[in-house]
Structure 1
Amino acid sequence: MRVKRYIVDSMPDALQKIKTDLGKDAVILNTKEIRSGGFLGMFSKKKIEVIAAIDTSAATAPSPVKTTAPIDRPQPVSTGFNTPQTAKNAYARPNGLAAQQQITDLKREALAFPEVPDVIIPSPAVPAKIPAAAVVVKAREDMLMEELKQMKEFMHKLSVQGSQQVSDPSLIVLKQRMIEQEVEPLLVDDIITSITQEAQDAGLTITDDSAMESARKKLLELFNQGRSNAMAADTRIAHFVGPTGVGKTTTIAKLAAEQVLKYHRKVGFITSDTYRIAAVEQLKTYATILNVPLEVVFSPQDLSKAFEQLKDRDIIFMDTAGRNFRNEMYVSELNTLLQYGGKSETYLVLSLTTKYKDMKAITENFSKFKLDKVLFTKMDETDSYGAVVNLVHDFKLQLSYVANGQSVPDDINLLAEQHIVDLILGVDHHD
């Protein structure tokens, strides 16, 4: 006995394949509608699973003894999925007289295919008769169970979404505010759910002030406040990495000026940004103004010479070339430029005007090597600050500085977590 399974779009396709593969003496054992592809049970395509068999010993087996008793031959079975009549009733479970009528219709439709052989199974290992009614009802039941399963999953999703609906006016306003600030919706739902649960556990009524204070507390908990955001006093070299156009060179000049003018440290510059037109000239101009030396490296092999030239410096600022963050080869090249034995910090420079989707992709690519802190630029060009919270939540990065203009060295400050949270929540301070 040779048994073969087919997955097809329609019964005519199956019949043609069975006839080609197994021959005219093959018999259909079972048919069942299945679904394939899709996402989470949705948008899947309907297929038909057909089990067919042929008795391989029929050619050598002795001829059956003739008998006058009539042979009850099973009628060829068609699922009827391609016919208008059965498609209309595809989701109705047949029962009673209706089931018998549908079975009769299916038999009549099956007979419309003249190439379907009227065969039996001579092997004793397989039942000699497969009632057409049983096959049809089995297919209908399987289809119905699959539909019920998908409906159950869909209703579960709706119930979960419904449970996240906010009815308290104070929480509605708070949630809308965070969404407008582009805080990730899932994070917003977690915060709102936590505030609601805490109020219920304590038996308290949620007010505007209590909701705001709870949200402020939840947002602050996302930040790593155990470390200083400022550049460490013993940092020997500070690397600055990031995509193109975020303002790394100008930011380096601002921080270098702070180290020279405020902390009176001896500063040196190294730049590997030889790809961008006038990039070296820009940093050279800042180096001349601050009276600090500048070394240009064209390859990782030039680094040791540059460090030797700047060995008397207290701190070295290294400007790397802005690269396309989607090109992994360019990003990985930075690894060789960031190898240094002394105390170092690596800053990822991001613009607050960048969409968080892109900001997340940038961080994922640059996270392939050690990132110590994140520095944001162009704060003066946006009114949305939720990306800061999202990035800290998703990547657990330490905040550092924020640049809010082009003036050197004035327009840069330490990024205070409380200030960002208050901006997101719309809290006004009149200090």
Structure 2
Amino acid sequence: MKIRRFSGANTREVLQNIRNTLGPDAVILSNREVDGGVEIVTAIDFDEKQWEASSQPSLAWPESLLADAEPRSRAADGTGRGPGAAGDNERTTAISGRSKPQGGAKAAPAELAHLHSELNALRRLVEARWGGTMEQPSRERFMDLGFSAEWAAQLAELGSGELESALQEGLGGRLSIAADPLGKGGVFAVLGPTGSGKTTSIAKLAARQVLRHGPRSVALMTTDTYRIAGVEQLGIYGRILGVPVDVIRSPEDLLCALERHRDRTWVFIDTIGMSPRDPRLEEQLHWLGDLGSKVRKLLLVNAGLSGKSLPAVLSPYLRLPLDGAILSKVDESPAFGAALEWLAEQSLPLCFFSDGQRVPEDLHSARWEAIIAHMLAAEHGAAMAAPAQYRYHALKQEECIA
């Protein structure tokens, strides 16, 4: 068995270097953060029997473990000093930083036993995380992102072993993205359960169009007369944006308001959020259903909903012909593969996703590279906010004027 140490700026770069250098049979022994990046110790031609033998008290430290632990070239100054020359006593084995026994001394049995146990634990971790190889992300890793076992198994077979490319290929082939969600105008109703962020999403949509086309192009409406301060919240956004806000209490109110604002290019309707078993929800869905294709209906899906909660909470809205979906609270959701999977199964195109409360900066047109970046950031426990350069690029591309 030969041991090699690799270092680089980040884990992904080092793993790619390991794959290119040692191939798929390399075993990760340890990893740690160092100045300027990370360091990973690997082994090739792994021989577990050799390690088992090395744990016997009567055996000296195996020289084969040290041969390639930290390769050194002979000194460039012409002295010809090699690894065994004076001054080389600091050479280590690359496993947990332990020093090579000097002068033929035997390694302590307790230390060897600890190393053996540590190595086996690391091997089990690698096998559980990457399916036993460094080439193929395991089904369990995709399940950690929120996908079902069936989807996880399918995704694990894609992307030539790279998690990001597997997500890009798998999601891109199953879930469509709306190219121009708001088009050249129309009436848009945002539907969804209570607490999913409808009012804030309506404000973000309206603010985008106000910044692009001016306040005279937009009108707001709300049917949320049951929630305390629901009307007031949207009214505050309306005053800030300089657009009218109409309160809808009946189907007749809705028809009259639409007629009153027929000269507005974009009309956004904030709907009431209720329990799926509340009869008032059924009544409101009938209002919108009677308008047919005059109103485009966007379903707001909380990214944090689990696979079991999604159908129970969102099924009532499937009675209407939906035109698309908005994925909300991406920044609050550590794993939202279940929400993406549910949208794909309903053949609902994804229009926008939101990753914060700021209006309108934290609403983005759906793009797989940005969505997948959020998924991977959540997997590694990183901050969910997108980097500044991405925010600038998104705002510039979507023609939002600060």
- TM-score under structure 1 normalisation? 0.53
- CA gap of 1:420–1:408, structure 2 versus 1, over 3 A, is closer
Structure 1 335/167 Cα, relative in aligned 2: closer, same or farther at 3 Å? same
Whether the 8 Å contact between 1:303 and 1:337 is mirrored in structure 2 is: no
Q: Does 1:223 align with 2:175?
A: yes
Match of 2:249 in 1: 298
Q: Deviations over 1:388-413 (max 9, x none)?
A: 43123321110011111112222111
User: 1:31-74 CA distances to partner (integer Å, 9 max, x unpaired)?
Assistant: xxxxxxxxxxxxxxxxxxxxxxxxxxxxxxxxxxxxxxxxxxxx
**CA drift at 1:296:** 1.0
Q: Kindly, what percent of the aligned residue pairs are identical? A: 29
Aligned to 1:391: 342
- What's 1:236 paired with? 186
Residues 220 and 168 (structure 1), Cα distance of their counterparts in 2 relative to 1, 3 Å cut: farther
Q: State the alpha-carbon separation in 2 of the partners of residues 286 and 260 from structure 1.
A: 12
Residue 262 (structure 1) aligned with residue 212 (structure 2) = yes
RMSD: 2.9
Q: Is the 8 A contact 2:330 2:353 kept in 1?
A: yes
Contact 1:181 1:385 survives alignment (8 Å): yes
Give 1:252's match in structure 2, choosing from 189, 192, 202: 202
Aligned match of 2:74? none
Counterpart code for 1:248 = K
2:312 maps to 1:361: yes
Q: Give the stretch that moved more between structures: 298-307 or 322-331.
A: 322-331
Of 332, 356, 367 in structure 2, the residue corresponding to residue 405 of structure 1 is 356
- Asked if 2 retains the 8 angstrom alpha-carbon contact of 1:349 and 1:376, the reply is yes
The answer for the alignment partner of 1:279 in structure 2 is 230
Q: Could you say if the C-alpha distance between residues 413 and 216 of structure 1 is closer, same or farther in structure 2, counting changes exceeding 3 Å?
A: closer
- TM-score (norm. length: structure 2): 0.56
Identify the range of structure 1 (414-423 vs 256-265) with the bigger mean alpha-carbon deviation: 414-423
CA 1:185–1:272: 2 relative to 1, 3 Å: same
Q: Which amino acid aligns with 1:306?
A: A
Determine if contact 1:267/1:316 at 8 Å carries over to the other structure.
Answer: yes
Give the equivalent residue in structure 2 for 1:191: 155
Q: CA deviation at 1:258?
A: 0.7
1:177 corresponds to 2:141: yes
SS at match of 1:292: coil
Deviation at 1:230, TM superposition (A): 2.8
Conservation of the 8 A alpha-carbon contact between 1:347 and 1:374: yes
- 1:386 Cα deviation after fit: 0.8
Counterparts in 2 of 1:17-416, with a 5 A limit?
Answer: 168-170=132-134, 173-192=137-156, 194-195=157-158, 208-209=161-162, 213-214=165-166, 216-225=168-177, 227-228=178-179, 230-233=181-184, 235-264=185-214, 266-327=217-278, 330-331=281-282, 333-340=284-291, 343-416=294-367
Equivalent residue pairs, number = 252
Q: Structure 1, unaligned stretches of length 5 or more?
A: 1-165, 196-205
